[in-house]
């Protein structure tokens, strides 16, 4: 499996090219919903948070986001750190933006216990065209592979987290959250590789604020590559870590985005305002079951917070302006268009070569 330009003349009629977009932590702090007014039906609308990237997201065949905070809604009392609970309308906005794969395996998954997970999953189950991985309503659900069918290709997806901030699941319900358990991951990937053509794994891991992947992230990535993962999507550090290609035990190329940083948040440091959008295309040949990467990049994103903390939105860095940067709430801490661009270069965001 190599990476090439994939000219139309070189492709067989059995080929399908599947496009992917993946973003990091959708971290909904209280400030993001506290300044909102409800409509006449008593509902929030968060569509504008993601409007600047909607075209990029909706154009992809598969669009992934890590929903960092449980969206249990007002019935479970909205709350901020350290135990989040966000409005359910956040999920509506993600769907409206074009996301069709939401991961809920992260360290805040049990912030509202089993009830928070069940409430969120019940809401997601009523949303057409949304796949969810990482949390479950039953043991049987946790054991069933999640597979998307796109353009004739079967895409196996899964997600796992390093922990849940010390909050244990209720007795006999350890299945609620998919944890990073190597034996389970190997078994899951064995099933996915038998039942799907492309395998993508999301991992909530690493150290917060670290710009380099830890040795444990690298070790786990190699394990995933050896087990057959084609792509690894990393979240949790809240800053970007440079992506790379590595080789698995069978000589396969695995694309890893060690950390995509924040998608949106109200965190307090300039480095936490720079995220990344993984964009890649995979060509699948149904005749022989082979795949290859056609393209791969990490597009820099910026979380904009207005100086009065009343407006939030996520922009592609290429569309961010000096005027917006000047009005950013963290401009006084040194955030500027130049500093964001320098950070993006330092984290090697852009086109990734398969070497």
Task: List, in order, residues 6 or more apart from 64 with CB less than 8 Å away.
Answer: 20, 21, 22, 23, 99, 101, 102, 103, 200, 202, 233
Residue 265 token pair: 């948040």
CATH of domain 16-346: 3.60.21.10
For 226-257, write each residue's pLDDT tens digit: 999 999 999 999 999 999 999 999 999 999 99
- What average pLDDT is seen over the chain? 94
| Nearest-angstrom CA–CA distance, 112 and 326 | 38
Do 77 and 33 meet the contact criterion of CB atoms below 8 Å apart?
no
131-156 confidence digits (pLDDT tens): 999 999 999 999 999 999 999 999 99
pLDDT for the residue 14: 57
Q: How far apart are CA 3 and CA 66, in angstroms?
A: 27
Query: Are the C-beta atoms of residues 260 and 277 closer than 8 Å to each other?
Result: yes
So where are the chain's domains? 16-346
Non-local CB neighbours of 175 within 8 Å, separated by 6+ positions: 136, 138, 139, 141, 142, 169
State how far the Cα of 221 lies from the Cα of 232, in Å rounded to an integer.
7
| pLDDT at residue 12 in the model | 46
Nearest CA-CA partner of 66 in 36, 35, 34, 107: 107
How far is it, in rounded angstroms, from Cα 7 to Cα 177? Answer: 42
**Residue 316 pLDDT level (bands cut at 50, 70, 90):** very high
Q: What is the reported pLDDT for 348?
A: 85
């Amino acid at each position: 499996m190599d990476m090439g330009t994939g000219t139309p003349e070189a492709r067989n009629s059995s080929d399908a090219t599947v496009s992917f977009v993946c973003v990091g932590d959708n971290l909904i702090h209280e400030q993001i919903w506290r300044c909102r007014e409800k409509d006449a039906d008593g509902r929030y609308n968060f569509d504008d948070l993601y409007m600047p990237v909607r075209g990029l997201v909706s154009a992809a065949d598969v669009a992934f986001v890590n929903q960092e905070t449980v969206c249990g809604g007002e019935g479970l009392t909205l709350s901020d750190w350290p135990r989040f609970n966000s409005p359910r309308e956040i999920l509506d906005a993600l769907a409206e933006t074009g996301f069709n794969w939401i991961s809920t395996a992260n360290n805040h998954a049990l912030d509202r216990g089993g009830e928070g997970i069940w409430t969120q999953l019940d809401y997601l189950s009523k949303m057409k065209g949304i796949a969810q991985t990482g949390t479950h309503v039953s043991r049987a659900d946790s054991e069933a592979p999640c597979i998307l069918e796109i353009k004739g290709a079967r895409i196996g997806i899964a997600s796992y987290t390093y922990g849940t901030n010390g909050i244990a699941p209720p007795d006999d319900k350890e299945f609620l959250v998919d944890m990073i358990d190597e034996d389970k991951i190997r078994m899951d990937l064995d099933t996915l590789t038998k039942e799907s053509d492309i395998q993508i794994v999301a991992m909530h891991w690493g150290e917060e604020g670290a710009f380099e992947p830890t040795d444990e992230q690298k070790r786990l990535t190699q394990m995933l590559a050896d087990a057959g993962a084609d792509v690894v999507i990393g979240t949790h550090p809240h800053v970007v870590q440079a992506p790379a290609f590595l080789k698995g035990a069978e000589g396969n190329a695995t694309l890893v985005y060690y950390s995509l940083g924040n998608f949106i948040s109200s965190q307090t440091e300039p480095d936490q305002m720079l995220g990344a959008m993984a964009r890649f295309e995979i060509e699948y040949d149904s005749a022989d079951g082979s795949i290859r990467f056609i393209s791969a990049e990490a597009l820099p994103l910026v979380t904009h917070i207005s100086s009065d903390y009343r407006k939030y939105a996520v922009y592609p860095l290429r569309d961010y302006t000096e005027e917006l940067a000047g009005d950013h709430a963290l401009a006084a801490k040194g955030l500027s268009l130049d500093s964001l661009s320098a950070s993006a270069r330092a984290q090697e965001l852009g086109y990734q070569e398969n070497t």
